[in-house]
Amino acid sequence: MADLSINFSGIRSPNPFWLASAPPTNSGAQIHRAFENGWGGAVWKTIGAPVLNVSNRYGAWRYGNEKMLAINNVELISDRPIEVNLREISEVKRAWPDRAVVVSAMVESKPVAWHDVIRRIQDTGADGIELNYGCPHGMSERGMGSAVGQVPEYCEQITRWVMEVAKIPVIVKLTPNISDIVMPARAAVAAGANALSLINTVNSIIGVDLETLEITPSIGGRGGHGGYAGPAVKPIALNMLAALGRDSIVRGSGLPISGMGGISTWRDAAEFLLLGASSLQICTAVMHYGFRVVEDLCDGLSNWMDEKGFATIPQVVGRSLHHVTDFKDFDLSFKAIARIDQDKCIRCDLCYVACNDSAHQCIDLFDKHGIASPPTAYDQSSNGKVEAISTRPTVVVREEDCVGCRLCFNVCPVENCIHMLPVPSGRPSVTWEELTQKQPEVAEDWKQMERYRQKMGIRIH
């Protein structure tokens, strides 16, 4: 059995799964129940400046059968009095000494306000502090949240104020609503933060009601941008996580990163670990299905680690980072083609239409005599299941024309029916960087490029 415990910049927890600072961590009673369910830690819903909330604060993006592919919220930080929160934090920590209790904070951008809140949090016995520089709605209008996270200088300044009084680990939480995630991370490093976490929610409007023409959800006829989270944001989070892992300053600082953004299953969790996260935070999956999701997060991750021969979480962290590169470092000689397993194919023809309309027109339909036939080639007077099934055309990739774009693979509804088969290209391995250093003219002149292509036997289809 793999050891799932972590030591995240001195914050210990029996597994890497922490509840993110969000509605599930609004009260001590909730966090007690979460810990009873097996959560390794919890980041208390942000405490700080006084606020008032509104109704209809969560919107969701339904897509297909997925009721909450993403959730959008305009809920503010904790609206419970700060004294109540602080009392419950100390109670929870006393009751659960082995779990990570981290407190998220956000106050006005004044040194005294930050000094005060950090000291009060430390008095509870909490294990760490997370600085909320991320909320994109409401608080940002008051100069807090993403208003800080979007300006690296503010990040650095406030983190310095915090570090002046901090005695427990300080995590700086980054907003994704920025053009380069590396900049605020470097600012946090420069200010002496102990760790980073990302991503906070993405700015979004969930939709427009086609009956009332109001924004969804409608807050008394009005609506606006909120923070977007859930499965739909996972690819964005992974990219930002990898960007930090590949930055020499951030990586060189050795600061651990707590990863979040759409983690719903142990598979998602493993991907975040592989790209450099060493603790994991989760919110939307819990908001959808409850605290019980932690059981399979731990069980599935543990089984996968056993299967892969990973004994501890640190052995997994960052293991895939070296596979992440820029386009210029990809091998231009690598070639793959699509191959359809005719025994698995259900003849839905989705690959055909995708290839024909949107890709490179290299999938053909063949009738049972092996003759290429256009769609709907059947006789209009024929009908019935036997006729329809027995005359259904076969989809075949014209391999010499396949560029290996992988669109058919992505649209195929059958698992393992279309394979992307690596094939020898007959060309020596070369990257764009290497090529253009040796032959800069191919990047500047189409004639030179065509000459190069002819020489190398590269066909464009």
- For residue 410 the two structure tokens come to 């992505």
Whose Cβ is closer to other proteins: residue 81's or residue 375's?
A: 375
Taking the C-alpha atoms of 92, 95, 97 and 102 in order, what is their torsion angle to the nearest 10 degrees?
Answer: 0
Shortest distance, CB of residue 368 to other proteins, whole angstroms? 14
- Interacting positions 261-280 with other proteins (CB under 8 A): none
Whose Cβ is closer to other proteins: residue 190's or residue 350's?
A: 350
CA distances from 72 to 149, 230, 443 (A): 19, 9, 43
Helix (H, G, I), strand (E, B) or coil at 125: coil
CB 158 within 8 A of CB 148: yes
Whose Cβ is closer to other proteins: residue 383's or residue 454's?
A: 383
x-or-dash string of contact with other proteins, 375-394, rule CB under 8 A: xx-x-xxxxxx-xxx-xx--
Shortest distance, CB of residue 59 to other proteins, whole angstroms? 18
Shortest distance, CB of residue 353 to other proteins, whole angstroms? 4
Whose Cβ is closer to other proteins: residue 62's or residue 308's?
A: 62
Q: Distance between CA atoms of 48 and 107, rounded to whole angstroms?
A: 5
Shortest distance, CB of residue 419 to other proteins, whole angstroms? 19
Size of the site for other proteins (CB under 8 A): 21
Q: Distance between CA atoms of 194 and 297, rounded to whole angstroms?
A: 26
Shortest distance, CB of residue 278 to other proteins, whole angstroms? 41
Query: Is residue 348 near other proteins by the rule CB under 8 A?
Result: yes
Whose Cβ is closer to other proteins: residue 335's or residue 392's?
A: 392
Q: Distance between CA atoms of 190 and 34, rounded to whole angstroms?
A: 35
Region from 4-12, 200-208, 254-262, 372-380 binding other proteins, contact rule CB under 8 A: 372-380
Query: Is residue 213 near other proteins by the rule CB under 8 A?
Result: no
Residue among 323, 300, 331 nearest 427 (CA):
331
Shortest distance, CB of residue 387 to other proteins, whole angstroms? 7
Region from 19-27, 37-45, 115-123, 342-350 binding other proteins, contact rule CB under 8 A: 342-350
Whose Cβ is closer to other proteins: residue 1's or residue 389's?
A: 389
Query: Is residue 353 near other proteins by the rule CB under 8 A?
Result: yes
* Phi and psi, residue 190, nearest 5°: -60, -35
Query: Is residue 347 near other proteins by the rule CB under 8 A?
Result: yes
CA distances from 461 to 299, 362, 452 (A): 47, 9, 16
Q: Distance between CA atoms of 400 and 361, rounded to whole angstroms?
A: 12
Q: Exposed (0-12), middle (13-18) or buried (19+): which is 368, by Cβ within 10 Å?
A: exposed
Whose Cβ is closer to other proteins: residue 179's or residue 416's?
A: 416
> CB atoms < 10 A from the CB of 66, how many?
14
Shortest distance, CB of residue 413 to other proteins, whole angstroms? 9
- For residue 163 the two structure tokens come to 């570090």
CB 127 within 8 A of CB 6: no
- Interacting positions 108-137 with other proteins (CB under 8 A): none
Task: Show which residues are catalytic.
Answer: 135
Helix (H, G, I), strand (E, B) or coil at 81: coil
Query: Is residue 346 near other proteins by the rule CB under 8 A?
Result: yes
Shortest distance, CB of residue 213 to other proteins, whole angstroms? 16
Shortest distance, CB of residue 380 to other proteins, whole angstroms? 7
- For residue 408 the two structure tokens come to 């058919």
Query: Is residue 352 near other proteins by the rule CB under 8 A?
Result: yes
Q: Exposed (0-12), middle (13-18) or buried (19+): which is 394, by Cβ within 10 Å?
A: middle
Whose Cβ is closer to other proteins: residue 329's or residue 387's?
A: 387
Q: In sequence order, what are the residues at sequence separation of 6 or more whose Cβ sits closer than 8 angstroms to the Cβ of residue 196?
A: 171, 172, 173, 174, 185, 188, 244, 250, 255, 256, 257, 258
Please report which residue ranges of 350-399 form alpha helices under DSSP H: 350-358, 385-390
Residue among 28, 23, 105, 54 nearest 283 (CA):
23
Whose Cβ is closer to other proteins: residue 319's or residue 398's?
A: 398
Q: Distance between CA atoms of 213 and 210, rounded to whole angstroms?
A: 5
Judged by CB under 8 A, the residue of 214, 349, 367, 434 near other proteins is 349
- What residue ranges bind other proteins (CB under 8 A)? 346-350, 352-353, 375-376, 378, 380-385, 387-389, 391-392
